[in-house]
Chains A and B, each alone.
Chain A
Amino acid sequence: AQKVTQAQTEISVVEKEDVTLDCVYETRDTTYYLFWYKQPPSGELVFLIRRNSFDEQNEISGRYSWNFQKSTSSFNFTITASQVVDSAVYFCALSEYYLQTGANNLFFGTGTRLTVIP
């Protein structure tokens, strides 16, 4: 069964600091996808990134970067020069594909609440 662990429950940083959110996963699948979602105070989850298990290249998008390491089953998320608007709950998720139905489900971690202090 899939499992996602986000050990950091809450993190507070001062604006402009860098912050890394950790995500460790467990799966027996050889092909899988990892995701990060952001949930701002408004409540709607916003998709940030999807990473294929065969692609271990790190990715950078503006102030966001992701470090995928298959050897340690980790998919960590770094925000550089944090801003107040980054305050949110961040969820890491792992896919599971149901061959019989063609459906994909996502298993979510418990989330990390990030507070950026001005």
Chain B
Amino acid sequence: DVKVTQSSRYLVKRTGEKVFLECVQDMDHENMFWYRQDPGLGLRLIYFSYDVKMKEKGDIPEGYSVSREKKERFSLILESASTNQTSMYLCASSSGGEGTGELFFGEGSRLTVL
């Protein structure tokens, strides 16, 4: 069974803390994504990666960075968490090439910043 696994379902952090959200996929997918989901705003793309060590900014990259050292792992980093980063974070992966595009999602990580 294909799987995208996010390391933490629920996190509570304090303002200014550094936060790591980890995502691992077992489908050998080239592309990996981090989305943020907020009520009334749908899913918004933060960053995506199309290959190891390669990354592209999405629609809302400010305050975030990412790391992809291995094909199966894509990490989202909040260097200094702020309360407006309280949200649900969704990781996804997909195979490369035109004509695909189906994203496989993890269960999400709900982050609360106090």
Q: Which residues of A contact B (CB under 8 A)?
A: 6, 9, 31, 33, 35, 37, 42-45, 47, 50, 52, 91, 95, 97-99, 101-111
Q: Mark B85-114, 1 if CB is under 8 A from A, else 0.
A: 000101010101111111111111000000
Interface assignment of B31: CB less than 8 Å from any CB of chain A: yes
A-B contact count (CB 8 A): 72
Please indicate the chain A residues that have their CB under 8 angstroms from the CB of B100 in the complex. Answer: 104
Interface bin, chain B: 20 to 34
Known: A98-B50, A103-B96. A44 touches B42 (CB 8 A): no
Asked if A104 contacts B108 (CB within 8 A), the reply is: no
Task: Tell me, in angstroms, the Cα distance from A52 to B102 when the chains sit together.
Answer: 12
Given A47-B104, A101-B54, A105-B45, output 14 extra A-B contacts at Cβ < 8 Å.
A6-B42, A35-B101, A44-B108, A45-B105, A91-B42, A97-B101, A98-B50, A101-B56, A102-B97, A103-B96, A104-B96, A105-B58, A106-B101, A110-B41
Q: Which residues of B contact A (CB under 8 A)?
A: 30-31, 33, 35, 40-45, 48, 50-51, 54, 56, 58, 88, 90, 92, 94, 96-108
Q: Which among B56, B97, B102 is the interface contact of A50 at CB below 8 angstroms?
A: B102
Asked if B30 contacts A102 (CB within 8 A), the reply is: yes
Q: List 26 A-B contacts (CB under 8 A).
A: A6-B42, A31-B98, A43-B108, A44-B107, A45-B90, A45-B92, A47-B104, A50-B102, A52-B99, A95-B101, A97-B101, A98-B50, A98-B56, A101-B50, A102-B50, A102-B98, A103-B31, A103-B48, A103-B50, A104-B100, A105-B48, A106-B103, A108-B43, A109-B42, A110-B40, A110-B41
